[in-house]
Structure 1
Amino acid sequence: MIGLALKLLRDELSEYVFRNKRPGDSITQDDIILHNIALMESENSSDLSNKLVITLVNTEEESTLKNRSNALKTPNGIKYVEPPVFLNLYILISSTLGQDLQDAYEFALHRLSLVIQFFQTKKNFTIKNSPFTTISNDTNILQEIKDDLRLNVELYTLTFEQINHLWGSLGGKQVPFAMYKIRLVKIQEDTKVIAPIIEEIRTDS
Structure 2
Amino acid sequence: MIDKVIISIASKLDEYIKNKLSLNEQSVIVSSLVDLKGNLNQDIENKITIFLLNIEEEKLSKNANMTSNAGSNPAIKINIHLMFSAHFPNFNYLEALKYTSLVIEFFQAHSTFSSSNTPGLPLNVSKIHAEMLNISIEEIGKLWGNIGANYVPSVAYKLKHIYFKDEGFSSDSALITG
Question: Which residue in the other structure is 2:175 paired with?
Answer: none
Question: Which residue in the other structure is 1:52 paired with?
Answer: 48
Contact 1:13–1:115 under 8 Å retained in 2: yes
Q: Is 1:92 paired with 2:83?
A: yes
1:22-61 mapped onto 2 (5 Å cutoff): 28=25, 30-39=26-35, 42-43=38-39, 45-61=41-57
Any gaps of 5 or more consecutive residues in structure 2? 170-178
Q: Is 1:165 paired with 2:156?
A: no
Contact 1:62–1:184 under 8 Å retained in 2: yes
Give 1:165 deviation, angstroms: 1.0
Higher relative contact order (CA 8 A, sep 6+): 1
Question: Which residue in the other structure is 2:4 paired with?
Answer: 4
Q: Distance in 1 between matches of 2:40 and 2:98?
A: 25
Give 1:43 deviation, angstroms: 4.1
3-state DSSP class of the match of 2:117?
Answer: coil
Give 1:149 deviation, angstroms: 5.4
Identity over aligned pairs, percent: 26
Bigger radius of gyration among the two:
1
Query: 145-154 or 56-65, which moves further after superposition?
Result: 145-154
Question: Which residue in the other structure is 2:157 paired with?
Answer: 180
Question: Which residue in the other structure is 1:104 paired with?
Answer: 92
Q: Distance in 1 between matches of 2:116 and 2:49?
A: 25
3-state DSSP class of the match of 2:168?
Answer: coil
Q: Is 1:126 paired with 2:124?
A: no
Give 1:108 deviation, angstroms: 1.1
3-state DSSP class of the match of 2:151?
Answer: coil
Any gaps of 5 or more consecutive residues in structure 1? 72-78, 137-144, 193-205
> 2:74 is aligned with what amino acid?
P
Q: CA RMSD in A?
A: 2.5
3-state DSSP class of the match of 1:178?
Answer: strand
Question: Which residue in the other structure is 1:69 paired with?
Answer: 67
Q: Which has the higher helix share?
A: 1
Give 1:27 deviation, angstroms: 7.2
Question: Which residue in the other structure is 2:129 paired with?
Answer: 152
> 1:105 is aligned with what amino acid?
Y
3-state DSSP class of the match of 1:64?
Answer: coil
Specify whether residues 160 and 40 from structure 1 end up closer, same or farther in structure 2 by C-alpha distance, changes over 3 A only. farther
> 1:58 is aligned with what amino acid?
N
